[in-house]
Amino acid sequence: MGLELNAAAISLLLILLTSTTTINAQTKVFDVRNYGAKPNDDITPAVTEAWKDACAYPGSSKVVVPAAVYWVGTVKFLGPCKGPIEFNVLGSINSPGDPNYFNGDLWIGFERIDHLTMSGTGDFDGQGGTAWGRSNCSKNSYCIHLPISLRFDFVTNSIVRDITSYDSKQFHINVFGCQNLTFDHVTIRAPENSPNTDGIHIGHSTKINVINSKISTGDDCVSLGDGSQDIFIQGVNCGPGHGISIGSLGKYQNEQPVSKVRVIGCTLSNTKTGVRIKTWPDSYPGSASDIHFENIIMENVDTPILIDQEYCPWNQCKSQNPSKVKISNVSYKNIRGTSRTKVAVKIVCSKALPCQNVELTGIDLKYNGKDGPATSRCVNVNPIIGGHQNPPACTIKTLN
């Protein structure tokens, strides 16, 4: 299964790269310097006009931001465009530092574009250090007054590769309503204590690939919201951060199912959790199914394997009422490494809708604390056990 999905992801990349190479000879370049952009200056008007002209060009086009330091305010690059379009960043694009500059949750956005390539060895500096201490992110998980660095809304058949995002004020990258979008060799960096700086958050999107990337941040390295379907994550080095997470789910009405998720061949280091699924208690109905974690290395990770259907930060819910999100067909195969906590495997499911078909195969998680070897805990689940088990398979407990 893992090899098949990997082949699919590589196939998509080859199609996109081959297409780019084939049309390269006819690609028209729109250099922001021709629109008045100068180093160490605000190039918002220049890059906006360059994009408009490139998008209107009836063929393959490329917007180029050369190697230098620039400043860019809030900007939204809109489609549809008349042909394939590339946004090539070779320089450093800096955000306004003052969080009061922003009137919403957007710094740079790409919307309703087909066949977008975002490339280059450049970086996007969100200047988040000016905002984190002034926000309520420690109490409000959504930080609604801080901008997301890069938004991709309704982008299809596209690829983002080689770019770097630093110090976002809120999420680094947000994906919504997208299809056939790949992130390849993306680097994301923010301090471990930076609040709500998820690396890549995905929601209401299908066929999204995150591969061969390095994510170090203060929240989830990759997080999947409702409506995430056919998601493939491979070769991601995560840490520090909060791990790779599905959810939280169930907080809002009419959430769409999460399904067909593969997380393969990743390494998590010094993260607060490993691979987890989290749902709110006292929740609205929902579901998460066909989710598989395989060949994952854990290095000094808190609770490497976690299903938490009692997720309730900041006491925002009635935790005594069970979650109504149905979790089924979940597997953990060949998960190995070290746990910073004694309970290395924790599967706490809903008493209203116990988890179904949860498989644990080839688990080897060591805990070197003074209070004994690693343990497992299971609530409202009867897992399917196979192969080596360290810690020993969890004792089944059902709450009445």
Q: Is residue 204 part of a domain?
A: no
Decide if pLDDT at 138 tops 60.
Answer: no
Q: What is the mean pLDDT of residues 9-33?
A: 65
Q: Is residue 273 part of a domain?
A: no
Question: What's the pLDDT at 399?
Answer: 42
Question: What's the pLDDT at 35?
Answer: 98
Which residue, chain included where needed, has tokens 């917007």?
A: 63
pLDDT in tens, 180-214: 999 999 999 999 999 999 999 999 999 999 999 99
Q: Is residue 166 part of a domain?
A: yes
Q: Is residue 11 part of a domain?
A: yes
Read off the pLDDT band of 1 (50, 70, 90): very low
- What's the mean pLDDT when you consider all of the chain? 91
| 242 in catalytic set | yes
User: For the whole model, what pTM was predicted?
Assistant: 0.91
Question: What's the pLDDT at 25?
Answer: 53
Q: Is residue 220 part of a domain?
A: no
CA 313 to chain CA mean position, Å: 20
Q: Is residue 22 part of a domain?
A: yes
Q: How many distinct structural domains can be found in the chain?
A: 1
pLDDT in tens, 166-175: 999 999 999 9
Please, is 22 exposed, middle or buried when counting C-beta atoms within 10 Å of its C-beta (0-12, 13-18, 19+)? exposed
Sequence-distant (6+) residues with CB within 8 A of 92 are 68, 69, 70, 122, 123, 125
Q: Is residue 289 part of a domain?
A: no
Decide if pLDDT at 391 tops 60.
Answer: yes
Q: Is residue 122 part of a domain?
A: yes
Decide if pLDDT at 335 tops 80.
Answer: yes
pLDDT in tens, 48-84: 999 999 999 999 999 999 999 999 999 999 999 999 9
Read off the pLDDT band of 139 (50, 70, 90): low
Residue ranges making up the domain that contains 178: 1-129+145-193
Q: Which of 115, 242, 292, 388 is catalytic?
A: 242
- Residue 117 is part of a domain; what is its CATH number? 2.160.20.10
Distance CA 205, CA 224 (A): 10
Decide if pLDDT at 136 tops 70.
Answer: no
Question: What's the pLDDT at 369?
Answer: 87
